[in-house]
Each structure stands twice: as structure tokens, then as C-alpha cells.
Amino acid sequence: MLPTPTSVPPQLRDSHGRALRDLRISITDRCNYRCVYCRDGEEGTSYSELSNEEYLRLITLFIPLGITKVRLTGGEPLLRHGLVDLVAEIATLRTLFGEAPDIAITTNGHLLESLAAPLKNAGLRRATISMDAVDAPNFEAITRVPRSFERVLAGIRAAKAAGLEPVKINCVLLRGFNDNQIEGFARFAQQENVIVRFIEFMPLEEGRFWSRDLVIPIDELVGRLSRVAPLVELPPNEAGETAIRFGFKDGPGEIGIIAPVSRAFCGACSRLRLTSDGKIRTCLFSQVEHDLYGRMRAGLNDEALRSYIIRVAQQKEQRHHIGEPGFLKPSRSMVHIGG
Ligand code: SAM
């Protein structure tokens, strides 16, 4: 009989003593946005996607090893046909293993208005929606898709109405590019009663123009936000939380700051990633990928595949080396790795 995640200590432990609980799985590397800080411009013509059955089998391998959170991402995960079915199938892993994983999604929100309620009913618990500007002209200049702002706003409101809470809005900030949106986002967080999380720009873009000067340090950001409305620092929701949290002294809304560059949190990282072509990445910045899908296709049984996953997890890098001499960007960009 398979062990359940609650009855055994996590087997996925890296050689630095971290328990790995969080699986991020890219279910497509297609995207309907071409955000200027992420994509080169032209849409590619070849994509790597597995079938729902194959993603489900891969996820099923991880759950008894102590994975408790599954985040679907991409590319743009809402582009996948059969997404609602896939979520429903992940949710039914409860019957196999006693406990269903906490299922979340990271999406650009463009297609969320009509999908929020069906996804919630299928078992999705939370949604994180990416949004890098709070006004239509700036937003559409970033996504390069007309009327995208109104679609995403409708998606955010639908996610709230469907109970995919807390709804988190992720904004990647680049100096001289969209930092004029900081104050608007503070007001947006209050007005829409959502969590706005500012994320430091990392060297994962297709265009290879990252530089430290583009990153806005956390103290500067907090100073600017505080001038809009006084902030109070909030305790972390859980050990190892990546965001530094702030509430507003008076009123709803929340701000999170995720600072992988200026305040790296690798020591608390509990993540493994699975690319849309079924390769395990132990870090966003890994130089190697581990071909789990290839082994599955070659006919390895579940026990052998789980032993492989355990061995790969042990190899998780201690930390990233962004900005240090000799730092190497990963060979694949964020849209292919899965953010
Ligand atoms: N399409 C979905 C979305 O927009 O949320 C999921 C995939 S997207 C790659 C996931 C997240 O990665 C988005 O919030 C995006 O802004 C973020 N991202 C992309 N490139 C990044 C970079 N170089 N540094 C930091 N975050 C980045």
C-alpha cells in the first residue's frame, strides 16, 4: 500500500536539509501574452505539452513523497484544453492518498472570467494573477494585447466572486519601465481588497537584458508605498513564506514584497518544478534538468520513478547566484520553465 502524505515524514529532502513540499508544474509553454520583459516578441511555433493523463501520472508520483502544494503554471495555464478536468482529477487524489494537495494556479487572468467558477468547483483553491500595470495603456503596452487590461480586471473580480481567495496579484517591477505604477498599485490593493505582491525582476527573460540597476530595492519600494498610505508589517502566514507582508494601517488590502535578488530566500525554498515537457528543475536557475517524463515513457514503474525523484531532490542547489561573478542564466526562459 502507498504511504499517505500525513503518515510519513517527507521523503523529499535535499542535501541541505530542506523538506520539499511545493511542486510547480507548467502545463503548457504557450502564452497568449508577449510581455515585453519576458518574451522576445515573435510567438514560437513549437510547443511542448503532455496529455492530462501524463501530467496527472507525474503529479501522482510526487504526492506520496510529501508534496502538499501543487501550483499549475505555464506559459499560460488557462490556454490548456481540459484544464478543469485536470484540476478535478488532481483533487480526486484525495481518495488515493487520504489528502488532496492544495491546488493553486498562476495565470495572466485573460481567460479567467468564465473559468474561475468552474475551476473552483473542480477543486482549485487559490489564484495568483499577474498584472504589471494598473492602467489600460501601460498594461497593454506591456502585454502587447489590446483590451487585455479589462479582461484581467474582470478575471480578478471573477476569481474573488468564485472564492479563489486570497486573490494575489503579482507585479514584476523594473526601474524606468513600470515603477511609475507603484503608487497606483497601493491604491488598487485597497480599492479591490486584494493582495498585491511586488516581485523583483530576475534574469529569466528571453531578451537577456537583466541588470541589477533594473531591480528596485525593497527599502525604496516600502518608502514609496508608505507615502500613499501608512503600512504595518504583518507576520508571515507560514514558516518559509517568501513574501514580506504589509497591511494598510487603515483599510483593506495587503502588500507583499518578494525580493529574490536583494533578499534571497533560498534557505527556506521548498520548491521543485516540472517543466511542460516533464523535466524536473530543482531551482529556477538550475543548469541541469532531470528527465522524469523520458523515464516514464521508457517504462519505469512507479517505484523506480519515485526513487529517481528522491535522488533528484537531493541534488537541489543550495542557493542561486544572481548578480555574482560567473553567474550563468538558465538555458530556458521563464515562459518555458514555468513561473
Ligand atoms: N502566464 C502566467 C502568468 O502570467 O502568471 C504564468 C506564467 S508567468 C511566466 C509566471 C510569473 O512569472 C508571472 O507573474 C510573470 O510576471 C513572472 N515573470 C516572468 N518573467 C520574470 C522575470 N524575469 N523575473 C521575475 N518574474 C518574472
Predicted local distance difference test score (pLDDT) of residue 41: 65
β-pairing, 271-274 vs 254-258, is unpaired
The maximal CA–CA distance of the chain, rounded, in angstroms, is 59
Sheet containing 102-107: give its strands across: 231-234, 244-248, 254-258, 195-200, 168-173, 126-130, 102-107, 69-73, 22-26, 271-274, 279-281, 290-291
- Could you tell me the residue range of the domain that residue 330 belongs to? 5-337
Query: In this structure, what CATH number is given to the domain that contains residue 69?
Result: 3.20.20.70
C-alpha 254 – ligand 1 centre gap (Å): 20
Rg of the chain, C-alpha, whole Å: 19
What is the number of the ligand 1 atom nearest to the C-alpha of 203?
A: 23
**Which atom of ligand 1 approaches the CA of 335 most closely?**
9
Determine the pLDDT at residue 5: 46
- 300 C-alpha to ligand 1 centroid (Å): 33
Q: Is the CB of 148 within 6 Å of ligand 1?
A: no
The pick from 130, 195, 214 for probing ligand 1's pocket by mutation, whose C-beta has the most ligand atoms within 8 angstroms, reads: 130
Cα(14) to centroid(ligand 1), Å? 26
**What does the pLDDT read at residue 123?**
96
Atom of ligand 1 minimally distant from the CA of 210 = 23
Q: What is the number of domains present in the chain?
A: 1
Mean pLDDT by 10 residues, the chain (339 residues): 48 93 95 92 75 96 92 96 96 77 96 98 97 97 96 98 96 95 96 96 89 92 95 90 93 94 90 96 95 98 97 96 88 83
Residue 335 has a pLDDT of 84
Q: 127 phi and psi, to 5 degrees?
A: -130, 135
Question: Which residues, in sequence order, are bridge partners of residue 25?
Answer: 72, 274
